[in-house]
């Protein structure tokens, strides 16, 4: 074990302020991989340590001897002490064993668990000795516990990634799928297009390369058996507005709780931006449709071409007998560039999300030779790559910073370049040039980078007098989307100044207790996995609300929420690991072939490849126990 890892254990003991206020407001004390932190002196640290050791044993995978046998005995000794049957010799043995567990265990659950127990035994030695000498049973506390890992902390849905990777490693695909589906109801979609924050947090990345977590999820989803789903009986009780990932996830997890819902969707297709934004070469429509069908199989009706706010108001739906509502209408309005001529309605000018939506419905919305796309994010990449597939021979992406600052996924940038897209950086549009209402070119200004702005990226500053014109047939701005929830909500439902719905971030409940909201229409444009997480959380809250209970999170949920944030923000200790293997990279269709059509670019992987990749997971689990 490295010194750095030793320093991590015990960090909370010496400095409890490292932990979020959310913990101290719910728990009297907490014990976990960073040691013991107590906010209430009445907390019995001896009993807390016993509980922590017992739960470490419960979570132990049993694959290495120190954790399986060593921690088991530590837990037994602590149990004896709490029953009033401890001895000082046995206490000494617990100290030595926990050190051994910490130093010799093969995964972080054992390592960090061992250090936490050791830390407690050393820091509070007097209390353990007093408990041994008192020879009296100790009163048992009430506890909540959670297991987290850095990858889980980075995942907005908190998917138990090490569990599904581990099940895959031992060839248990169905169990792996079950572990994924507990938090992610659209694994085939997420397995293809997730922005994969988990991989950025994967500690394997500090050894060689992160585990290919997204690819493994796709493998599991593509391989699992079709489930037998029974449709729910009875009347729908919840109205869901929007059949995007947030709405679908909510319907799915309500269904898992035996609650039927109806989804009202403005478009003739379900999936939200996954269907009408993300192009088919990244996410084939059939893959998405089968995931939607799985939600429908629960008895969920999707009412297509139904525009909430036009075809029915909130009151209308409540009057029809719905008892609760989940608003998940996304962020579909394109942000404005602030460039002269963008509102003139010129032929050849079309906002990015509209351009992609038209293509998704089988149209060819723009034609010509040269297209300019403005933006540096993933939507801009989808536009340029789609333009190549529509036959534009000269496609330029214009971005006001440099390529290094582009927020788009580096894989997307690389694949766009392979497909012949030209990146024109340090430029900003100033005026659309049109002739007789038809786009002919774009006047741009050159930019330079100044001091970093609030995002930490260097601010682009215009170079006066540097204007120049790029001739083109079409212009597609793709600089982001904005929300417009204000147009849909009655006045008593609070809406922010960004026109997003205001909800409690833990319960997703709005100022009207019957109305919940989530996904892009709450956060602003975000990601599929964040929308799925919001839909699930809302479903849990709505289920509680329908039972007449407080939708507030349970202590377990609060502990998980707080500890996922702790593990996400913590500087991770280096890993004592030698050996190095390359990340699994699925085969992709060559650029000259793929630009001819919208067929999927990334290929599947074999079961053997998936198993080998799963072997690369370091199982960085950590346990935390909170005293209620
Ligand atoms: C082009 C593009 C590419 C993207 N690529 C990725 C990616 O690769 N990976 C990733 O993780 N994220 C990606 N995103 C982001 C992701 O798609 C969104 O964050 C996610 O879809 C948000 O889900 P949602 O359910 O909140 O909203 P949406 O997906 O927007 O769904 C909202 C639904 O509500 C419906 N609706 C709206 N108004 C009404 C109304 N009045 N009545 C009834 N229905 C209504 C809409 O038609 C839509 O179906 C991309 C986004 C875009 C635009």
Question: In percent, how much of the chain has pLDDT > 70?
Answer: 97
| pLDDT above 50: residue 447 | yes
Q: Stretch 15-21: mean pLDDT, rounded?
A: 85
Residue with CA closest to ligand 1 atom 19: 527
Q: Stretch 442-446: mean pLDDT, rounded?
A: 97
> What is d(CA 393, CA 388) in angstroms, rounded to the nearest whole number?
7
User: If DSSP codes are grouped into helix, strand and coil, which group holds residue 202?
Assistant: coil
Q: DSSP letters along 129-195, please?
A: HHHHHHT-PPPP--EEEEEE-HHHHHSTT---HHHHHHHHHTT-HHHHHHHHHTT-S-HHHHHHH--
Residue 309 beta carbon below 6 angstroms from any ligand 1 atom? yes
- CA 307-310-315 angle, to 5 degrees, is 100
248 against 41, higher pLDDT: 248
Residue 274 beta carbon below 6 angstroms from any ligand 1 atom? yes
- CATH number for 335-479: choose from 3.40.50.1220, 3.30.565.40, 3.40.640.10, 3.50.50.60: 3.50.50.60
Residue with CA closest to ligand 1 atom 8: 193
The conformation of residue 403, written as its DSSP 8-state character, comes to G
Written as six digits, the tokens of 620 are 């960085």
3-141 and 335-479 have identical folds: no
CA 178 to chain centre: 18
Evaluate whether 340 touches 372 at the Cβ level (below 8 Å).
Answer: no
Evaluate whether 299 touches 255 at the Cβ level (below 8 Å).
Answer: yes
Residue ranges covered by each domain of the chain: 3-141, 152-225+569-614, 238-331+483-552, 335-479
pTM of the model: 0.93
Domain 238-331+483-552 sits in CATH at 3.50.50.60
CA 194 to chain centre: 8
Q: What is the phi/psi pair of residue 480, to 5°? A: 130, 170
Residue 334 beta carbon below 6 angstroms from any ligand 1 atom? no
- Look over the chain and give the mean of its residue pLDDT values, rounded to a whole number: 93
Q: Stretch 267-286: mean pLDDT, rounded?
A: 97
- CA 561-564-566 angle, to 5 degrees, is 110
| Distance (Å) from CA 348 to ligand 1 centroid | 25
So what's the architecture of 3-141 in CATH? Up-down Bundle (1.20)
Q: DSSP letters along 463-522, please?
A: -TT--EEEE-SEEEE-S-EE--GGGTS-TTS-B-TTSPBP--TTT-B-SSTTEEE-THHH
What's the confidence (pLDDT) of residue 188? 97
Q: DSSP letters along 548-598, please?
A: T---SPPHHHHHHHHHHHHHHHSPPPP-------PPP---B--HHHHTTS-
| pLDDT above 50: residue 4 | no
| pLDDT above 80: residue 542 | yes
Q: Stretch 149-171: mean pLDDT, rounded?
A: 94
188-217 pLDDT, tens per residue?
Answer: 999 999 999 999 999 899 889 999 999 999
What's the confidence (pLDDT) of residue 586? 95
Nearest ligand 1 atom to the CA of 409 is 8
324-361 pLDDT, tens per residue?
Answer: 999 999 998 889 998 999 999 999 999 999 999 999 99
Burial class (CB in 10 A: 0-12, 13-18, 19+), 37: buried
Query: Which of 262, 273, 386 is the pocket-test mutation for ligand 1 (most atoms within 8 Å of CB)?
Result: 273
| Distance (Å) from CA 244 to ligand 1 centroid | 5
64-113 pLDDT, tens per residue?
Answer: 888 888 999 999 999 999 999 999 999 999 999 999 999 888 788 888 99
| pLDDT above 90: residue 9 | no
């Amino acid at each position: 074990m490295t010194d750095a890892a030793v320093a991590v254990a015990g960090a909370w003991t010496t400095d409890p302020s490292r932990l979020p206020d959310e913990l101290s407001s719910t728990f009297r004390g907490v014990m976990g991989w960073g040691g013991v932190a107590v906010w209430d002196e009445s907390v019995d640290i001896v009993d807390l340590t016993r509980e922590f050791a017992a739960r470490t044993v419960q979570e132990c995978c049993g694959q290495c001897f120190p954790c399986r046998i060593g921690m088991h005995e530590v837990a037994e000794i602590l149990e004896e002490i709490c029953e009033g049957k401890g001895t000082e010799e046995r206490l000494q043995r617990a100290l030595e064993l926990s050190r051994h567990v910490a130093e010799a265990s093969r995964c972080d659950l054992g390592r960090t668990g061992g250090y936490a127990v050791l830390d407690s035994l050393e820091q509070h030695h007097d209390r353990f000795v007093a408990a041994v000498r008192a020879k009296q049973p100790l009163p048992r506390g009430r506890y909540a516990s959670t297991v987290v890992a850095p990858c889980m902390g980075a995942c907005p849905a908190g998917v138990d990634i090490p569990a599904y990777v581990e099940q895959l490693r031992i060839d248990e695909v169905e169990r792996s799928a079950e572990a994924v589906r507990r938090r992610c109801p659209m694994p085939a979609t997420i397995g293809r297009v997730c922005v994969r924050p988990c991989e950025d947090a994967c500690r394997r990345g500090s050894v060689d390369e992160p585990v290919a977590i997204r690819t493994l999820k796709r493998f599991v989803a593509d391989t699992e058996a079709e489930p037998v789903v029974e449709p729910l009986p009875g009347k729908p009780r919840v109205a869901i507005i929007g059949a995007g990932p947030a709405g679908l996830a909510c319907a799915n997890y309500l269904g898992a709780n035996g609650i039927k819902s109806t989804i009202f969707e403005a478009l003739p297709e379900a999936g939200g931006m996954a269907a009408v934004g993300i192009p088919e070469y990244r996410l084939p429509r059939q893959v998405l449709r089968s995931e939607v069908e799985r939600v429908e199989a629960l008895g969920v009706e999707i009412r297509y071409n139904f525009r909430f706010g036009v075809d029915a108001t909130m009151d209308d739906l409540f009057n029809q007998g719905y008892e609760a509502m989940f608003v998940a209408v996304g962020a579909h309005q394109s942000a404005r560039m602030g460039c002269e001529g963008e509102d003139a309605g010129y032929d050849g000018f079309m906002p990015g999300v509209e351009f992609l939506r038209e293509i998704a419905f089988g149209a060819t919305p723009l034609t010509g030779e040269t297209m300019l796309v403005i933006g540096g994010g993933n939507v801009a990449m989808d536009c340029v790559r789609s333009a190549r597939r529509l036959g534009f021979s000269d496609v330029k992406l214009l971005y006001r910073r440099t390529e290094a600052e582009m927020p788009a996924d580096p894989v997307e940038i690389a694949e766009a370049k392979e497909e012949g897209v030209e990146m024109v950086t340090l430029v900003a549009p100033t005026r659309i040039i049109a002739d007789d209402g038809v786009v002919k070119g774009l006047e741009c200004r050159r930019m330079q980078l100044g001091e970093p702005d609030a995002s930490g990226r260097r601010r682009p500053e215009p170079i006066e007098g540097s204007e120049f014109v790029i001739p083109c047939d079409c212009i597609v701005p793709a600089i982001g989307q904005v929300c417009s929830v204000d147009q849909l909500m009655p006045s008593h439902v609070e809406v922010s100044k960004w026109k997003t719905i205001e909800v409690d971030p833990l319960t997703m409940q709005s100022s009207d207790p019957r109305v919940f909201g989530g996904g892009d229409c709450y956060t602003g444009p975000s990601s599929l996995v964040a929308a799925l997480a919001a839909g699930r959380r809302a479903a849990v809250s709505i289920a509680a609300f329908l039972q007449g209970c407080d939708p507030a999170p349970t202590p377990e949920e609060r502990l998980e929420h707080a500890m996922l944030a702790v593990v996400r923000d913590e500087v991770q200790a280096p890993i004592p690991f030698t050996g190095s293997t390359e990340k699994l990279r699925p085969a992709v269709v060559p650029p000259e072939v793929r630009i001819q059509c919208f067929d999927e670019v990334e290929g599947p992987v074999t079961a053997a490849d998936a198993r080998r990749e799963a072997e690369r997971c370091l199982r960085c689990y950590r346990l935390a126990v909170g005293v209620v």
